[in-house]
Structure 1
Amino acid sequence: MRKNNYRDLLVWQKSMDLAKQVYMITKYFPKEEVYGLTSQVRRCAVSIPSNISEGKGRGGDKEFVRFLQISLGSLYELQTQLELALSFNYVKNIENILELSLEIEKMLNKLITVKGGRNV
């Protein structure tokens, strides 16, 4: 395995866990939402670790920061959509998922700052 691989990043690992949890809860969304909120929530969840890995693979810190910021945007979008799903009673409890998402948010912001980007 390569040294300093994206798989070594704790934020990527936690983002993968978040995506898995999102897939598990969206199984229970109403069938009429399969092309709506279910699809959108899943795309956002997958986008977070995907952009982390893509940015890491670009090589430079400037590109990495740009992709971390995209991941952060997808995370905010996911948090909003999960709140919406909760308000529609598609899920009963998203506390654990939101807690994990807040942890990832802090990690992304810190990594953006450390790598020379601005804290968004």
Structure 2
Amino acid sequence: MAFAFEKLVVYQKAVDFADKTCETKSKFPNGFYYLRDQLNRASLSIASNIAEGNGRFTKNDRKHFFGIARGSAQE
């Protein structure tokens, strides 16, 4: 049985974005470890915060996590 957030189109796009980021960062030269790490953490944070926000019960809690996901996307 799937979790409810897995049906969200925005969550699916966030996961696809994280996958594409993973492919892209592997092509960076060796000296860019910190940039690779930052891209990895930010892209995973988008999907994680969407999933966590969707599991919250109050509108304000959901908005808080969705806001964090938006900030990670802008990062």
Residue by residue over 1:51-91, the C-alpha shift from the partner in whole angstroms, topping out at 9 and shown as x without a partner, is 000111122221111101100000000xxxxxxxxxxxxxx
Matched with 2:47 is 49
In the alignment, the residues of structure 2 paired with residue 46 and residue 70 of structure 1 have an alpha-carbon distance, to the nearest angstrom, of: 12
Q: Tell me the TM-score normalized by structure 2.
A: 0.92
- C-alpha displacement of 1:29: 0.7
Backbone CA RMSD of aligned residues: 1.4
Write out aligned runs for 1:39-78 (5 A).
39-77=37-75
Matches for 1:1-120 after TM superposition, within 5 Å: 1=1, 5-34=4-33, 36-77=34-75
Counterpart Cα distance in 1 of 2:17 and 2:9: 12
Deviation at 1:32, TM superposition (A): 1.7
- Quick one: distance in 1 between partners of 2:64 and 2:7? 19
Gaps of 5+ in 1: 78-120
| C-alpha displacement of 1:30 | 1.3
Q: Give me the whole-angstrom Cα distance separating, in 2, the residues matched to 1:61 and 1:5.
A: 16
Dislocated runs of 4+, deviation >2 Å: none
How much identity, in percent, do the aligned residues show? Answer: 35
Residue correspondences, number:
75
Q: Determine the C-alpha separation between the residues in 2 that align with 1:6 and 1:30.
A: 35
Matches of 2:39 and 2:13 in 1, distance apart? 17
Report the secondary structure of 2:31's partner residue.
helix
